[in-house]
Amino acid sequence: MARSTIDGCNIRLILEYDGTNYCGWQSQSDGNTIQDFVESAIYQLTQERVRVIGAGRTDAGVHARGQVINFPLKKALPINKIYLGLNSYLPADIVVKLAEEVPVEFHARFDAQKRIYQYFISLERTAVFRDFCWQLFYKLDMSLLQSMAGIIVGNHDFSSFARHETQTRGKTCRVSESTWRIQDEYLIYRIVANRFLHGMVRTIVGTMIDVARGRFDLTEFNAIFQARDRNRGGQTAPPRGLFLEEVIY
């Protein structure tokens, strides 16, 4: 896919957002999205209508601590004015953490080498953090979770863990890290890959949880993975536990 040419300066932002009340990152006709609000804030500040480029297209209800975007500006503005101005126009659940000018060639999506996601499962009931985790009270086999996490490391076809409507030419992703850990009252899954398919992390988590609670066994997980068929997979974990943590360039 050809990159569009940027006329003027190229601005990169790192965004943090609570995705609870949004229909996801990407602009769409039937609902409010993070992208819509960011582009509106840019227009209010600069009077320029721009289309921002995001490193990852988070789904409805998914959060981010390190979403990276870039967009062109025809008129140069001081970076501090962009940072302060956008934060003043954005709603409280979307925050600009960093603003900087980057080379005109920089592309938030195509230049990304790795994306890091984490999924949070609460092992105790929580009221305050209920929108930021999946609350589970099953007895889970930690050794099985770690075994499955190791199985998916490498270059693999992840069709069994992608939504049917995923529109990509290939379903192969290169996973460089996949681990589970317990931290305080949370069970946390961390996955690092060069790219992710639509719904991939949540379906991986949901299927692993199905195995760890005894619905499937490890042999069946391997069969699901190799089948390259979403119909064979397990449940999809709810979006509220998933965070886009960082994008590596």
The answer to whether 55 and 112 are in contact (CB under 8 A) is yes
Q: What are phi and psi of 132, to 5 degrees?
A: -125, 20
Nearest residue to 247 (alpha-carbon basis) of 71, 116, 103: 116
Q: Which two tokens stand for residue 237?
A: 């974990």
Q: Which two tokens stand for residue 139?
A: 């007895």
Nearest residue to 224 (alpha-carbon basis) of 237, 233, 215: 233
CA-CA distance, 187 to 123, in Å (whole number)?
A: 7
Q: What angle do CA 34, 242, 128 make, to 5 degrees?
A: 90
Q: What are phi and psi of 92, to 5 degrees?
A: -65, -20
- Report helix, strand or coil for 72: strand
- Beta strand segments in 74-168, E: 94-102, 114-122, 134-135, 154-157
Residue reference for tokens 């009270």: 137
Q: Is 7 a catalytic residue?
A: no
Rounded to 10 degrees, the C-alpha dihedral 63/93/26/41 comes to -150
Instruction: Tell me which of 18, 59, 184, 229 is the catalytic residue.
Output: 59
Catalytic residue positions, numbered? 59
